[in-house]
Structure 1
Amino acid sequence: MRHASGCWFGLAFGDALGAETEFLSVEEICRRYPPHGPQEIKGNPALVTDDTQMTLAVGEALANAKTAHLTAAILETPLRNAFIKWWRSPENNRAPGMTCLRACSRLAQGMPWQQATEANSKGCGANMRVAPVSLLPLDATTRAALAQFQAALTHGHATALAASDLTATAITDLAKGGDPQGLPSRLRSYALNQRTVYHAEWLGSLWKRPDINTPEEFISHGWDECLTVLDRLDAALVNPNRDDDPCDATGEGWIAEEAFATALLCFLLFPEEPLAALRRAALTAGDSDSIACLTGAFAGAYLGMAAWPEDWVARIEYCDRLAALGKLWD
């Protein structure tokens, strides 16, 4: 099945397809790509955005760590260096998020990551890149801590951490063959279980804010926002409508918990039709490339490489890097 490769390529395909439609209304997308939005990735290579670039950065940082025993002390330098390399790259010209740019600039100055991060940002840059964490053979506690830690280097808001953890959990569940229909319920149980768990060995003093008294109080705010968006996802799935813009149900995806929920909704509308899921994700009024990127990660993790057309595999930008990491993870 090659679930890891399917996830790696799926997120890149979604990113490339959604790159054409980000910032556009559904009506404008249909006008430019009649009648139902973009159906194929364009170009050779088909270009991706910062979503895939930063996912590759996370994956290559994890590969460079070369140890099965992962800690914040071991991973901070590889992640920092990978983010700085991306920030300095001439290919970093795909409308990258301002949070990532500002945080990476401070990381490049050598600031401690707790000072470099954008403490109040919960943008989707936190979890659009988390897929590599999901595909490592980690225990659940380490996976959760690492998913949050990679987000925390740039996005310090509690919801950015929780949404990254929840996104990683969903991908892991699907890659292991989890039933898509029951996934929202399993994710709710996970969120409730993690609501007051603060990974202090990884996150240190990140929780300290003028209006926050304990680490548990800090992280619970993030999980509560994730639980709220899971409520919206459940409501949308009561009478699922493939024709409505998913953003109307679960948000436009500019923030982490909405990017997670809207991407998951797109996947759950078409759990056995990966290309239809990507096309639905690209035909959205919100942060279409991030929504479609995560949709592709979910679909590819669940269905493996067989989900994707060989022609797309051959044409996607960074094909060799995606293939190498997919092979390593598989």
Structure 2
Amino acid sequence: MSTPADGALWGRADQQDYRSRVRGCLLGGAVGDALGAAVEFLSWAEIRETYGPEGITDYAPAYGRRGAVTDDTQMSLFTVDGLIRAHVRRDTGAWHPPTDLHAAYRRWYTTQREWGPDERRPADGWLARQEWLYAQRAPGRACLSGLADEVMGTLEQPKNPDSKGCGTVMRSAPFGLLVGWEPHLVFQLGVECAAQTHGHPTGLLAAGAFAAIVHALVRGDDLDTAVQKALVQLASRPGHEETTDALKQALGAVRQGLPSPERVASLGEGWTAEEALAIGVYCALVAEDVRHGLLLAVNHGGDSDSTGSVCGNLLGALHGDTALPPAWVAEVEGRATILELADDFAMEMTQGPALHGPADSARVWLERYPRG
């Protein structure tokens, strides 16, 4: 796929391909998240005891239903919302995407503290009015504490400076969908927004690397090439060693024999950012198809929903939404919202100037994505 820069004209085929990859990335992440939700806190032995020798092979009840997603998908959707609103607010002359992302994550934080949407806050936009998002699905402690007040964490003064939990990685795939941006800017934005909840260099850099990998996939690279490009970016960053080593271990594991839960376990459990990234990358690299990759990513004793989500983001961005298992897509929680948001994002990135500008804007778009 060719990749027009901001403001360049997109051909119809390019728009369709891009929309499919955006849909695939967001839906794939949600499907992987939902597959892992039922086994997130189980050991591999407990998973086999409960679901059989092959482990979990389909959605299982979690949070009261099959196909339930967790905070991973919730926060990823608010990342998308924040990115759209950053581009809309650009019309006012204000351009600081981390501020818009912080506001979006604060809207997610509100969903974890209130019973449902408040119609008296139209500035929250349409995503924050989706009632199904007002559910607590084991949100990460660092994400909650980092967003508990209005002070935005920055690289100079990050929130939770010693934390490198996977809460940075699991929400950062949408940065990679900024296909018109330069790779180093995508990486940097992922890093800066990770600092809003986690401050350890590994937490920051794993998020940036994940965004960069997704970005390269959407631009048409294969996964191995995308990882190699991320490693080049990492090499110049202070404190990159843990993230670099984890990605190199993932690449090395591909050559060590047939994929297995034991091979996945050799990369860690996924609770930390670099481990979740490495497991997701490894499972996507060895995947025979999307179904195989996602089941491999969730069948281990660790943070199965996050590793499934990361793997799903990667495979969806690589292959597009039509490669995802239809039955899983049909049953995943929030599918209609995810598709609507994905299509809005693709439309904003490819046709934004036709939707809004300093002089004239479509009223419906500003109601969905207010400039405030």
TM-score range, shorter chain: 0.7 to 0.9
CA distance in 1, matches of 2:33, 2:333: 11
CA distance in 2, matches of 1:24, 1:126: 22
Correspondence list, 1:285-324, <5 A: 285-324=301-340
- The one-letter code matched in structure 2 to 1:118 is N
1:238 aligns with 2:255: yes
1:240·1:269 contact (CA, 8 Å) conserved in 2? no
2:84·2:345 contact (CA, 8 Å) conserved in 1? no
Which of 277, 281, 286 pairs up with 2:293? Answer: 277
CA distance in 2, matches of 1:304, 1:142: 24
CA 1:319–1:327 in 2, change beyond 3 Å: closer, same or farther? same
In structure 1, the partner of 2:205 is 162
- The one-letter code matched in structure 2 to 1:328 is D
**TM-score normalised to the size of structure 2?**
0.75
1:19·1:289 contact (CA, 8 Å) conserved in 2? yes
Deviation larger for 294-303 or 145-154: 145-154
Q: CA RMSD in A?
A: 2.3
1:24 aligns with 2:42: yes
1:100·1:154 contact (CA, 8 Å) conserved in 2? yes
CA 1:69–1:85 in 2, change beyond 3 Å: closer, same or farther? closer
> Higher relative contact order at CA 8 Å, sep ≥6: structure 1 or structure 2?
1
1:313·1:319 contact (CA, 8 Å) conserved in 2? yes
TM-superposed deviation, 1:189 = 2.6
Show CA shifts across 1:164-201 (max 9, x none): 11111111122223223444433333322xx24xxxxx
For residue 97 of structure 2, give the secondary structure of its aligned residue in structure 1: helix
Which of 85, 109, 113 pairs up with 2:153? Answer: 113
Which of 308, 329, 341 pairs up with 1:325? Answer: 341
Which of 25, 39, 51 pairs up with 1:7? Answer: 25
For residue 113 of structure 1, give the secondary structure of its aligned residue in structure 2: coil
1:246·1:284 contact (CA, 8 Å) conserved in 2? no
- The one-letter code matched in structure 1 to 2:233 is Y
CA distance in 2, matches of 1:130, 1:72: 23
In structure 2, the partner of 1:261 is 278
CA 1:67–1:226 in 2, change beyond 3 Å: closer, same or farther? same
CA distance in 2, matches of 1:5, 1:282: 21
CA 1:93–1:246 in 2, change beyond 3 Å: closer, same or farther? farther
TM-superposed deviation, 1:69 = 6.1
Q: Which consecutive residues of structure 1, in runs of 5 or more, have no partner in the other structure?
A: 197-219
1:117·1:153 contact (CA, 8 Å) conserved in 2? yes
In structure 1, the partner of 2:242 is 225
CA distance in 2, matches of 1:143, 1:257: 18
Which of 233, 238, 241 pairs up with 1:190? Answer: 233
CA 1:251–1:310 in 2, change beyond 3 Å: closer, same or farther? same
Show CA shifts across 1:94-126 (max 9, x none): 111111111111x3xx33434571111111001
In structure 2, the partner of 1:122 is 164
Larger radius of gyration: 2
Give the total of aligned pairs: 300
CA 1:172–1:72 in 2, change beyond 3 Å: closer, same or farther? farther
In structure 1, the partner of 2:103 is 81
TM-superposed deviation, 1:306 = 1.3
2:86·2:95 contact (CA, 8 Å) conserved in 1? no
In structure 1, the partner of 2:349 is none
Deviation larger for 174-183 or 248-257: 174-183
1:17·1:289 contact (CA, 8 Å) conserved in 2? yes
CA distance in 2, matches of 1:112, 1:179: 35
Whose helix fraction is larger, Structure 1's or Structure 2's?
Answer: 1
In structure 1, the partner of 2:83 is 62
In structure 2, the partner of 1:199 is none
- The one-letter code matched in structure 1 to 2:258 is N
Deviation larger for 146-155 or 230-239: 230-239
CA 1:276–1:100 in 2, change beyond 3 Å: closer, same or farther? same
- The one-letter code matched in structure 2 to 1:58 is T
TM-superposed deviation, 1:141 = 2.6
1:118·1:155 contact (CA, 8 Å) conserved in 2? yes
